[in-house]
Structure 1
Amino acid sequence: MTATVSRPDTTPDLRDRVAAVLPVIRDEAAKIDEQAVFPTGGLAALRDSGLMGLLVPAEYGGLGGDLDDLVEVAVALAGECMSTAMIWAMHGQQVAALVAHGTERLRAELLPRIARGEVYVASVTSEKGKGGHLLTAHAPLHRRDGALHLDRDAPIVTGGEHADGFLITVRDAPDAPPDAVSAVYADRSQLEVGTSGSWNPLGMRGTHSGALHLSGRVPDHHLVGSPGQFRTVAVRTFAPAGHVAWAACWLGAARGALRDVLGLLRSPAGRRQFDLGSELLRARLARVRMDLDTMSALLAQCLRDLAGDADPEAVPVQLRLNALKVFTAERSFASVDLLVELTGLRHGYLRDAPLALERRFRDLRSASLNYANDRLLSANGTLALLDRGVSLAW
């Protein structure tokens, strides 16, 4: 992923930090999947590494990274454990929103703590009756005595039981319409946090994306963005960061799977078991590699869009960002599915096989469900009708 790194002089330090955490994440991956437990060891290593503050500006003690750096790190982490990578990447999404839209006072209070690895931030956008739709909310915000009061149920909060803080979407006021959405940051110590239900999913078992009930009050400067204007936060920062972060995790998991399969095929044992001259084997490898290169190219183009002067609300940019999420979700899963076919029952299908293709297969099945592909395809159909000139990136 060197093509996505914007500052070569910072690359060695960033890669050293990543290299230090990968062994912990790798060693923990099978256990957190088998037992459906949160990756406490991996998160502790990420806190110690400084990577929790990757997107925090240097003036607040962070690494001063950008979305290119977020992608590079997420790809590497997901190659070992997609649950841990997704937890970290979604934290990065929240940090990006706080950096770009938080009040000056909130940034001064919170960002140095994030940079020191003290605060892992979870996202609270899901709600009963609307799913994960970002731009509507039901539970209202109340303003009393210079404070923001909230009482919020969320059916899915990735890593919420273990989070130190939350970025929460709410309806701006009891009499506000559902599309007047505000975002509020809350420290865990400012809330009463209740958990319910269990987390026993097919894949992504380490994310602990269970249900939470959050209630409490925070100072009024914890509003992120203008009152009722979360749409601006979402369109300009939150959604783009989320799409590239998710895509990086899915691409990283598929890339790790291909890397491990190639290692097996090139090993002495693999050469004895597989016919490397087989046209079918080579065609399957070619298709997986082609999918990975195509996903990577689309991701790189979206990063160029977001780093340049392009308006993130422009139709071609929105089309590519939505397509990135849908295409990468579909093709990363399809790539691992094809690798399972290639390696067969012994290496691809068994749960205790060293390649861990079975785990990656289950993890990547979730990709199309994270903000449903059908919803984004419907949006892109509408956007495609608006783009009569069929604007493409060259």
Structure 2
Amino acid sequence: MSTSTPLAPVEALPGVNPCRDDWSARAAVIAEVAARHAQEVDREGRFPAEAVQAMRDSGLLAAWVPQSLGGPGLSLRQIAAMCAQIGGACGASGMIFAMHQIKLSSIVHHAGSSPWYQALQKRVVAEALLLGSVTSEVGVGGDIRRSLTHVVRDGDRFKLDKHGSVVSYGAYADALLITARADEQAPPNGQVMVTVLKDQYQLEKTGGWDAMGMRGTCSDAFMIRSEGACEQIFEAPFAEIIANTMLPVSHILWSSVWFGIAHSALLRARTHLRSVMKQSGGQLPAAATRLPDLVARVQVLHARLLSAATRFEAAMAAGQGALPMSLTTDLTLLKSTMSEGCLAVVQEALTTVGFAAYKTEGAASLGRHLRDLHSAPLMINNARLIETMSSFLLMDPLQFGLA
């Protein structure tokens, strides 16, 4: 590992004009590439290298970087739409894109004034760096608000070793954002977040990722040994980062990926029914009567997601600091609602289509969609979220106006 990795300012990608360029068209190109390789990525459980390269080529890995640092400075809703578009083509590719943007949002909103982090954002623009995350840890399960390991400081340098139980695309990332206790005396929840670059850490694989779904995320377990300069440690405590940015953005962008998968399932079901109707000389298939309910479910999920994203975006623009309890509750319930609702849509679509959806091959196949979405309720387990929200809801006024 290098003893020092200075981040000199670099120029933005040439020719990038956030006002002129059609970013949604770039996302469509990524989605097309992701769709072309999705079945192979799923079958082989391999990293979606082609889709991620398309992300790099598009400039969209820098989507969240503000224009003042050479990035597109896209809005949360624009990025959410891209997550849905890519996720509908390949769930694993969409989730990788979403997780990267979640990490980038934490940097932009909580370390943006640091010279080191400003230079890092410029490198994300110029070099299309892929950011990974090490928040899980062997010994604490999925409770990312607690850490066993701690940062060891020595003057202006630090060392940090952590055993991550699930490190999505860790072997393919260009930098990792790692959580740990601030020091040896800090309690388990006294955490900080640290960014380390690829030449500042070593990975030792300790567990594989032969999973039911989201296979292309390659979420292996790793022992990570890292070192760097103390300026790479976020000044803001992790409790602040996760409450005000990381968790809300995670819930919105994850939900967008899941929605994209559910929407894809709806479109496959409709296409299949139209094909059956054409083959039968225009006679409406009996299963087509399920379609109105399926569409209505997707519409409800879309409205729920759009409402939450709009509210959070408004709160960010207002710069209120800590989020209101009502918004925190809304965004937490969004995760459980979307994870379960999108899964239910795909299950209903599979029933609507029948055995053509049950097969692993063919345009109507929904096996990958179903398996990918079974991960959704488990990413920050819904049971843990509901338990936390129960006490909040007893204090929330629960007012719902229509005006």
Residues 75-115 of structure 1 deviation map (CA, whole Å, 9 limit, x = unaligned):
10011100000001100000000111125212222111111
Name the residue aligned to 2:178.
168
TM-score by length of 2: 0.90
Residues 7-30 of structure 1 deviation map (CA, whole Å, 9 limit, x = unaligned):
xx9597112211222221111101
**Secondary structure in 1 matching 2:354:** helix
Name the residue aligned to 1:3.
none
**Secondary structure in 2 matching 1:32:** helix
Q: Give the number of aligned pairs.
A: 380
Name the residue aligned to 1:306.
312
Cα displacement (A) at 1:274: 9.4
Cα displacement (A) at 1:277: 5.7
Cα displacement (A) at 1:273: 9.4
Q: Which whole-Å CA distance do the structure 2 matches of 1:271 and 1:98 have between them?
A: 54
- Does residue 286 of the first structure (1) align with residue 295 of the second (2)? no
2:248 pairs with one of 225, 237, 240: 240
**Secondary structure in 1 matching 2:377:** coil
- The answer to whether the Cα contact below 8 Å between 2:277 and 2:283 also exists between their aligned partners in 1 is no
- Does residue 123 of the first structure (1) align with residue 102 of the second (2)? no
Name the residue aligned to 1:44.
53
Letter matched to residue 179 of structure 1:
N
Q: Which whole-Å CA distance do the structure 1 matches of 2:29 and 2:278 have between them?
A: 30
- Does residue 109 of the first structure (1) align with residue 116 of the second (2)? no
Task: Could you tell me which runs of 5 or more consecutive residues in structure 1 were left unpaired when the two chains were aligned.
Answer: 1-8
Q: Which whole-Å CA distance do the structure 1 matches of 2:327 and 2:121 have between them?
A: 29
- Does residue 77 of the first structure (1) align with residue 83 of the second (2)? no
Name the residue aligned to 2:75.
66
The alignment-based identity, stated in percent, is 27
Q: Which whole-Å CA distance do the structure 2 matches of 1:274 and 1:358 have between them?
A: 28
Cα displacement (A) at 1:196: 2.1
Name the residue aligned to 1:96.
105
Q: Which whole-Å CA distance do the structure 2 matches of 1:12 and 1:265 have between them?
A: 37
- The answer to whether the Cα contact below 8 Å between 1:50 and 1:117 also exists between their aligned partners in 2 is no
- Does residue 318 of the first structure (1) align with residue 318 of the second (2)? no
Name the residue aligned to 1:297.
303
**Secondary structure in 1 matching 2:89:** coil
**1:331-370 alignment, distance < 5 Å:** 331-345=341-355, 347-370=356-379
- Does residue 231 of the first structure (1) align with residue 239 of the second (2)? yes
Q: Which whole-Å CA distance do the structure 2 matches of 1:92 and 1:331 have between them?
A: 23
More deviation, 106-115/245-254: 106-115
Q: Which whole-Å CA distance do the structure 1 matches of 2:353 and 2:276 have between them?
A: 15
- The answer to whether the Cα contact below 8 Å between 2:103 and 2:132 also exists between their aligned partners in 1 is yes
**1:111-190 alignment, distance < 5 Å:** 111-190=121-200
TM-score by length of 1: 0.92
- Does residue 214 of the first structure (1) align with residue 224 of the second (2)? yes
2:386 pairs with one of 368, 377, 389: 377
Cα displacement (A) at 1:276: 2.6
Q: Which whole-Å CA distance do the structure 2 matches of 1:352 and 1:195 have between them?
A: 33
Cα displacement (A) at 1:62: 1.2
- Does residue 14 of the first structure (1) align with residue 14 of the second (2)? no
Letter matched to residue 66 of structure 1:
S
Cα displacement (A) at 1:268: 6.2
**Secondary structure in 2 matching 1:130:** coil
Residues 1:364 and 1:274: Cα distance change in structure 2 (over 3 Å): farther
Task: Could you tell me which runs of 5 or more consecutive residues in structure 2 were left unpaired when the two chains were aligned.
Answer: 1-17
Cα displacement (A) at 1:290: 1.8
Name the residue aligned to 1:6.
none
**Secondary structure in 2 matching 1:46:** helix
Q: Which whole-Å CA distance do the structure 2 matches of 1:324 and 1:294 have between them?
A: 12
- The answer to whether the Cα contact below 8 Å between 1:134 and 1:234 also exists between their aligned partners in 2 is no
Q: Which whole-Å CA distance do the structure 2 matches of 1:96 and 1:174 have between them?
A: 28
- The answer to whether the Cα contact below 8 Å between 1:316 and 1:391 also exists between their aligned partners in 2 is no
Letter matched to residue 238 of structure 2:
F
- Does residue 34 of the first structure (1) align with residue 40 of the second (2)? no
